[in-house]
Amino acid sequence: MNQLNALKQFTTVVADTGDFKQLAQFQPQDATTNPSLILKAVQKPEYAPLLAEAVAAHRGQPLDVVMDHLLVRFGCEILKTIPGRVSTEVDARLSFDTAATVARARRIMAWYEAQGIGRERVLIKIASTWEGIQAAAELEREGIRCNLTLLFAFCQAVACGQAKVQLISPFVGRIYDWYKKSAGAAWDEAAKSGANDPGVQSVRAIFNHYKKHGIATEVMGASFRNVGQITALAGCDLLTISPELLAQLASTEQPLNQALDAAAAQAMDLPAVVYNEAAFRLALNEDAMATEKLAEGIRAFCADAVKLEVLMQQS
């Protein structure tokens, strides 16, 4: 059995791509997209017509309207290939505006429903800022399920659990990137791999906390840099993986063992943790890695949204 099939015994495998033509070969349950992945996809010849069609169908309308229609179009195409859910992201430029995030999420969901897609098949991706988490709490109460992304700190995960969001996406690879860059020449790749990888350790702590305290929010590890990070999280609720790493797993026959276990977590002595807004902001501020990577991630998604708008204007 290859490692991809072995992983599917313990974990729901999700494809992290806007390139829906690649999906079928890996047979993932769900798929995730973000502005960067959609931008990458529409610059390929085979996807350029989707951009042109979205622009033509909504010419003269505001760019945010055209963009959301494009995102929904990609989502609908992805849902033809997978049995589960697609994640579609709210514009990152709204990451600090609760009301605007709620409004955009409602609009995206309404457009999916207009295409005959049920709410249970869509997750609205929102950055894990305090404002984003509060928006998600409101949306969840309306039956709009959310995927809280750009999650780097334990306090973000706790706040998402309190908000009863459907799913969180802790970013394994970007946490790893920060610690590796911070250590510089002192970084020991072998010593910081697998279970000792700081990104892996972050997800494991969140997973154990959720399972210990009966928090229903799903944990989906994301942003992987290598296969070792993925195999070290076998047993996590879900893992969203790029097509390149899915291919590596599919071509590897080495044994794969379950690394995370909900029953084991329930037996651990882990204190309950609660954050109000002030405590959340202080805890996030105290975590230099999470503060920097959250800001950097929002900036990058904002920049790619602008690039996507430029392509729309040129179409």
- AA letter at 22: Q
Among residues 21, 40, 44, 125, which one is catalytic? 125
> Dihedrals φ, ψ of 149, to 5°?
-110, 180
Please tell me the distance from the alpha carbon of residue 147 to that of residue 127, in angstroms, as a whole number.
9
> Taking Cα atoms as reference points, which of 103, 157, 102, 169 lies closest to residue 132?
102
Helix or strand or coil: residue 212?
A: helix
CB distance 98 to 135 below 8 Å: yes
Start-to-end C-alpha separation, the chain? 46
> Can 125 be counted among the known catalytic residues?
yes
Counting Cα atoms < 13 Å in the Cβ hemisphere of 196 gives 8
Please tell me the distance from the alpha carbon of residue 220 to that of residue 203, in angstroms, as a whole number.
9
**Residues acting as catalytic residues:** 125
